[in-house]
Amino acid sequence: MTAKAAFVIPGLTGLLILAAVGCGAHAQTYPTKPIRIVNPFSPGGSFDLVSRALARTMTAELGQSVFVDNRPGAGSNIGVELVAKAPADGYTLLAMQTSLVINPSLMKQVPYDPIRD
């Protein structure tokens, strides 16, 4: 065995050990609490129906409650602001369409940044 090969074998062994140790660590299970889908439009509309169908499917797949929270008004800015200020933990989702990026060009000020938030 050459000196070059002697360094490769411990390197591979170390890599395998690190991979085995990494497999033992488990992430927190998700979701551990109900998930809210914020719909910034009125209940009963076509976008609401799609959001509710999505919530039903997610509830069945994830085994955790997923519900739709309608927050209409101000050209959808009320619902978008609620989601933008919510903790970034994956439990508050936004059902949205193009007004998210159109509103900043139509209004002097919106309570969110469509790129950053």
Domains with residue ranges and CATH for the chain? 35-106 (3.40.190.150)
pLDDT digits (tens, 9 = 90+) for 68-112: 999 999 888 899 999 999 999 999 999 988 777 787 788 788 887
pLDDT digits (tens, 9 = 90+) for 18-27: 454 555 555 6
Nearest residue to 98 via CA among 114, 116, 111: 114
For 84, other C-beta atoms within 10 Å of its C-beta total 18
Distance CA 37, CA 51 (A): 7
Specify the pTM.
0.69
- The token pair that represents 82 in the structure block: 């609620």
Q: Which residue has the tokens 């509830």?
A: 59
Contact 59, 66 (CB under 8 A): yes
Q: Which residue has the tokens 């369409």?
A: 97
